[in-house]
Structure 1
Amino acid sequence: MSTKLRGGRVRDGLKAGGRRPRLSLNFRVLLREAIFGVNDGLVATVGLVSGEALSHQSHGSIIIAGLSSVGAAMVSMSVGSYLATTSQNDWVRQQIRQQQEDIARQPHQEAEEVEDLLEDIGIPDPVIPDVRKTITASRPRWLKFMVREALGVHPSHEETPLVNAITMAVAVVVGSSPPIIPFLLPISTIWARDLAWALSIMAALVVGALKGKFTGSALWKSSLQFAILASLSATVGAAIGWALGLLGA
């Protein structure tokens, strides 16, 4: 079976009978969900409040629109994360079952693929037949090898849908906070708007730096990417709000 798979992670618990792997936390996955949620919350909200502020909406209207947007984004993004994770896990299991059936139905062809995979990973030609014989002597071991090398599903655990969804929801709220908080303070709408922009840019720089630290990329480059996205969103939102304000004048 030559199907390739990237993303889902399944524990090596592919015992006889295809027992379902247990779920656990995965820092890489949680980091992905957190970065995605923070970015979505920050960029979408700063654009919204910018547009609302420049379209001459009342302070109260901006707060209502902003909080409504945060609530909708939190629900939408967390549900989307949950459904995406469960769909991915189901697809991984289906691919594993298909691989198991392929081994049972066409063992000779699958054994040849074992040799091809061993050659791909650099096993010396003279020892490939012996290694292949060792792998195919046990169906569970054979399945585990094919799942790892042919499907690209490596050890550890599946992603946990509920944890991913909660992480996404919290990240959206955290990302939405910098542009929303100024409008909850007892200051004028103009001051709140400017403070929202400043806090959003600062938050984008910090989150970008954290992403760079965790992923090993350049801190300045990662920070700049986030800051540019937040700035573009604020600019687009402000332009739309300004244009609507002129039409309503």
Structure 2
Amino acid sequence: MTEVPAHDEAHGGALGSRLNWLRAAVLGANDGVVSTAGLVVGVAGASESRSALLTAGLAGLLAGSMSMAAGEYVSVSTQRDSEQAALAQERRELHEDPEAELDELSAMLTARGLSPDVAREAAVQLTERDALRAHAAVELGINPDELTNPWHAAGASFLAFTVGALLPLLAIVLPPTEHRLWITVVSVLCALAFTGWWSARLGEARPGPAILRNVAGGALAMAVTYAAGSLLGAVGV
């Protein structure tokens, strides 16, 4: 029984990490769909040229995916630096004052619902097995073996955005000219409905509001960019 706190913390942390990756992937794909759809639909409002649509779509895909990857790399690198700094400080405190750290661990386990005697025994056993891991899990919520990886995050964001962006790009350049716009709009709205449903499912929320927000936001983005493109095309810009 005394080993349960460490086991539960690691398991919960791993589950939370997987859910965060899934949410990031869904949001990245959603961004790819909306931003690229807005771009190509706007260009379609100004021009029927397939080459212009393909050029604009590819440029938007590459710019967006690289921007997402760079932003995610910087963000996760900062998080990893913070985790490493927290672990280094905990390691130093364990070396300088192990008794105070043992008391601290006992108090945190007591605060989680264990009786003082059981919490003390659990803290002693966890400390004997791996003091740093015990404090990292209970105090910091960090698994020292599963620190965030900025390269993985950047790659996942790049891939998710690219996959999302490919849908409106292919939908606008492959169909015949007279059908490309409505095919793109329908495809994009269906994709946004799916990503809204999936993000709500990951967050254990009602899917209806998430789907409505996604679809309404995407429809508004395409309407605005198409109106802007049509206006520019009409004045010969």
User: Normalising by structure 1, what TM-score?
Assistant: 0.75
- Partner residue of 1:229? 217
Post-superposition offset of 1:184: 1.8
Q: Give 1:195-234 correspondences, 5 Å limit.
A: 195-234=183-222
- Partner residue of 1:144? 133
Q: 1:105 aligns with which of 96, 113, 122?
A: 96
- Partner residue of 1:124? 115
- Partner residue of 1:44? 35
| Contact 1:29–1:159, Cα closer than 8 Å, also in 2 | no
Which stretch shifts more, 31-40 or 165-174?
165-174
* Aligned residue type for 1:102: E
| Structure with a larger share of its residues in helix | 2
Q: Give 1:4-153 correspondences, 5 Å limit.
A: 27-56=18-47, 58-136=49-127, 138=128, 141-153=130-142
The Cα offsets for residues 170-201 of structure 1, whole Å up to 9 and x where unpaired, read as 2212211222113322522x532222111100
* Aligned residue type for 1:220: G
Q: CA–CA distance in 1 between the matches of 2:229 and 2:222?
A: 10
Q: CA–CA distance in 2 between the matches of 1:206 and 1:242?
A: 29
Post-superposition offset of 1:81: 2.7
Compared with structure 1, are the counterparts of its residues 66 and 116 closer, same or farther at alpha carbon in structure 2 (3 Å cutoff)? same
| Contact 2:53–2:173, Cα closer than 8 Å, also in 1 | no
Post-superposition offset of 1:126: 4.2
Post-superposition offset of 1:44: 0.4
Q: 1:179 aligns with which of 168, 180, 204?
A: 168
The Cα offsets for residues 103-125 of structure 1, whole Å up to 9 and x where unpaired, read as 22233443332233122111113
* Aligned residue type for 2:185: W
| Contact 2:57–2:169, Cα closer than 8 Å, also in 1 | yes
* Aligned residue type for 1:101: R
User: Normalising by structure 2, what TM-score?
Assistant: 0.78
* Aligned residue type for 2:165: S
**Matched length:** 224
Q: CA–CA distance in 1 between the matches of 2:111 and 2:231?
A: 59
Unaligned runs of 5+ in 2: 1-8, 12-16
1:244 aligns with 2:232: yes
Which stretch shifts more, 125-134 or 142-151?
125-134
Q: CA–CA distance in 2 between the matches of 1:110 and 1:186?
A: 66
| Contact 1:119–1:128, Cα closer than 8 Å, also in 2 | yes
- Partner residue of 1:21? none
| Contact 2:19–2:202, Cα closer than 8 Å, also in 1 | no
Q: CA–CA distance in 2 between the matches of 1:170 and 1:125?
A: 49
Aligned-pair identity in percent equals 25
Q: CA–CA distance in 2 between the matches of 1:128 and 1:38?
A: 45
| Contact 1:11–1:158, Cα closer than 8 Å, also in 2 | no
| Contact 1:38–1:175, Cα closer than 8 Å, also in 2 | yes
Unaligned runs of 5+ in 1: 1-9, 13-25
Q: Give 1:158-173 correspondences, 5 Å limit.
A: 158-173=147-162
| Contact 1:11–1:155, Cα closer than 8 Å, also in 2 | no
Q: CA–CA distance in 2 between the matches of 1:158 and 1:126?
A: 32
| Contact 1:135–1:142, Cα closer than 8 Å, also in 2 | yes
* Aligned residue type for 1:151: L
Q: CA–CA distance in 2 between the matches of 1:221 and 1:239?
A: 27
Q: CA–CA distance in 1 between the matches of 2:135 and 2:171?
A: 55
Q: CA–CA distance in 1 between the matches of 2:117 and 2:171?
A: 70
The Cα offsets for residues 144-174 of structure 1, whole Å up to 9 and x where unpaired, read as 2211121121476234444433332222122
Q: CA–CA distance in 1 between the matches of 2:37 and 2:63?
A: 15
